[in-house]
Structure 1
């Protein structure tokens, strides 16, 4: 039996770490709201900026790197230029070689998310990314464990 989709609207209380991203004129599409691809850029920026800051290292240079294995987005209401976007980050699961993130996008004073993304990193060998998955670096594990809720 298929599972029932989650219809709840995430709130600010659902997230652990925060970042503000400035929107740009070019982020809006022809209809005057944030282009769908830009939501994914915000997700990617929030996750990787956190990893750079929390580990104190350039994560591109670690022996194992996180590649995106899965993404999705629930669009709950429109957002766009010129207001900044507050981005909430939380980790749902830390495995041996993977991390499941949830990212909430908020614009304005409201408590409910305008969008929520799912972002999965799977760790591979930095020198040979075609090789099978590998355990994530301990610095990454320590950083993301702080985001578990």
Structure 2
């Protein structure tokens, strides 16, 4: 992840997804609540997985579960900002993938926040660790930096 004073730029991410803020996302301090950023992350990752055909939410035999996540904040976002979530893979293991996500406000080039989400792939039924399926690995590799 980037150092606090080294704000990532849009070009640093392979894909981007737009997410709109909602009236209830911000708090009495006038900015989007910290917990909402995690929703932005989850939305962008899930949209990528479904769009790429690597996740059938109800039926995929191997699924990714979040085992770790964090977020560093640089600048506030508020309602009614448009949010763009940049997506990249910083590590692709046998059964895990580390996503890095940049959150960009409106048309700004520097990230307002950067997050990290680690997925571990497991068998849907047993919840035991499983290798990332080849077709999923191929799509994830396309996000690798």
TM-score normalised to the size of structure 2? 0.93
Gaps of 5+ in 1: none
Contact map agreement 2:54 2:135 (CA 8 A) in 1? no
1:101 CA displacement: 0.5
Deviation at 1:102, TM superposition (A): 0.4
Residue number in structure 1 paired with 2:84: 86
Which blocks of at least 5 consecutive residues in structure 2 are unaligned? none
Residue in 2 aligned with 1:147? 143
Alignment of 1:1-149 (within 5 A): 6-7=3-4, 8-55=6-53, 57-129=55-127, 131=128, 133-149=129-145
* Per-residue deviation, residues 45-85 of structure 1 (Å, max 9, x unmatched): 10111010012651442111100011000100100110110
- C-alpha deviation, 1:99, in angstroms: 0.3
- Distance in 2 between the 1:61 and 1:140 partners? 14
Aligned partners of 1:91, 1:59: CA distance in 2, in Å? 21
Aligned-residue RMSD, C-alpha: 1.4
Q: How many residues align?
A: 143
